Amino acid sequence: MLQVSYLKENKEAVLEGLKKRNFKNPELVDHAINEDQKRKSVQSNLDENLSEMNKISKEIGILMKDGKKDEAERAKSKTADFKEKIQVYQQELKDSEQNLLNILYQIPNIPYEKVKAGSSETDNEIIFQSQEVEALGEGAIPHWELAKQYNIIDFELGVKIAGAGFPVYLGKGARLQRSLVQYFLDKNTDAGYLEVNPPHVVNEASGYGTGQLPDKEGQMYFIGEDQLYLIPTAEVPVTNIYRDVIVDEKDLPIMMTAFSQCYRREAGSYGAHVRGLNRLHQFEKVEIVRLEKPENSYESLEGMVKHVQSILEDLELPYRILRLCGGDTGFAAAMTYDFEVWSAAQEKWLEVSSVSNFETFQANRLKCRYKSEGKTQLVHTLNGSAMALPRIMAALLENNQTENGIRIPAKIAAYTKFDFLN
């Protein structure tokens, strides 16, 4: 969430940034500024009446002490009007504060200066590609057929138990999945990230804290009886560890990693692009999260990109890195890099990781701050997938199919204890 002070002091830059995103409601900036002025006016009236009320209360005390009961009673009669006005102003203030929040919740983050304008994924910049890619050739089998052939993932059984988008991993498939998770966590902790095992459900405040609410409410599974949401990513509970916290400056940067199941309704998704592991309602992912001092956050973002890049190198998969344009950058992010791996059998790129800097957007919602030289200011938050499992699994199966079975990359074979799926 952007701060009103930032909107007022940088209005032209804000509108220019929103234009990069093709944001359809730039008038919300003026609405927020005007509502803030109204809030301040109501606050001023409330403070004035509270001051007068306090003054009269002191006068009453003095009159009573001096035995001037009649004068004290007359003074008391004046307080009734002030009490009524105070109640009205308190309600008006509450309403105005809520109106302001509702407006601010609708304004996305401002893209970083390096982010180019654009309307969709076709405008994203490819900033790195590991190698030339090509199809496996005639007879290449897509991962959903490989999964059936080697009896490692059962999609139909998942439909029976829960519905489409909930696959069941079997035997060596389950072991490969578990090995990938362990490898990702080890890679992250070796890089200095603290492993965290968070809840897989969050309350409404946590959803608002990281920006999933109200923006992605329709994509989250909601448990009505308990007013809880199944997490779409470990980013949500992990980042919320520091909601309403003032961090000690010497503790920054704070680096955390977490494995979790992720739950996404993916409402409206259909067609060939959701087949097999391409898009699921439940999947496993390892996340990395950082809290940084503002002056260090973009250097840290580049470090996170290099870290994810090293994972893909270990997995021996063809990959590319994209910097997202304004129109394709997530609501809360200031800048995002996407990682895609080549699906040889499907002959297309699959997104497997997003690494983003949110600057103060989440921290303002979370009230996550740090104190430096006596001044309290907001941290910058960053996160990324390191990694999401389903499409990594799909690419591993498709790119490594041989006459002898599916070859397991050496770094992962050290965890699976087998070199081939056959």
Closest by CA to 390, choosing from 346, 348, 353, is 353
Find out whether 206 is annotated in a ligand binding site: no
| Cα→Cα distances 78→39, 61, 278, Å | 26, 14, 71
| pLDDT > 70: percent of the chain | 97
To the question of whether residue 416 is assigned a binding role by annotation, the answer is no
How many residues make up the chain in this entry?
Answer: 422
Task: Say yes or no to pLDDT of 215 above 90.
Answer: no
Q: Does the annotation flag 265 for ligand binding?
A: yes
Mean of the pLDDT values across residues 130-137?
Answer: 78
* 403 in a labelled binding site: no
Q: Is 351 annotated as a binding residue?
A: yes
Strand partners, 184: none
Decide: 389 and 283 in contact? Cβ < 8 Å: yes
- Please report the pLDDT score of residue 54 as a whole number: 85
Poorest-pLDDT segment among 49-53, 225-229, 340-344: 49-53
Average of per-residue pLDDT across 126-155: 90
Phi, psi of 21 (to 5 degrees): -85, -5
Give the pLDDT band (50/70/90) at residue 140. Answer: confident
Split at pLDDT 50, 70, 90, the class of 398 is: very high
Residue 273 — pLDDT band, cuts 50, 70, 90? low
Give pLDDT, residue 61: 85
> Which residue in the block uniquely carries the two structure tokens 């927020």?
32
Q: CA–CA distance from 15 to each of 109, 211, 331, 357, 398 (Å)?
A: 11, 20, 15, 20, 45
Q: Is 383 marked as binding a ligand?
A: yes
Query: Binding residue per annotation — 266?
Result: yes
Structure confidence by residue, pLDDT tens digits, 29-84: 999 999 999 999 999 999 999 998 888 888 888 888 888 887 887 777 778 888 88
Q: Summarize pLDDT for 113-124 with one digit per residue, the tens.
A: 999 999 999 999
- Residue 168 phi/psi, 5-degree rounding, is -110, 125
Q: Could you tell me which residue, 64 or 256, shows the higher pLDDT? A: 256
Q: Is 264 known to sit in a ligand binding site?
A: yes
Is 369 labelled as part of a ligand binding site?
A: no
Distance (Å, whole) CA 238 – CA 360: 16
- On whether 48 is known to bind a ligand per the annotation, the reply is no
The domains found in the chain, sorted by start residue, are 4-104 (1.10.287.40), 121-421 (3.30.930.10)
Mean pLDDT, the chain, rounded, equals 94
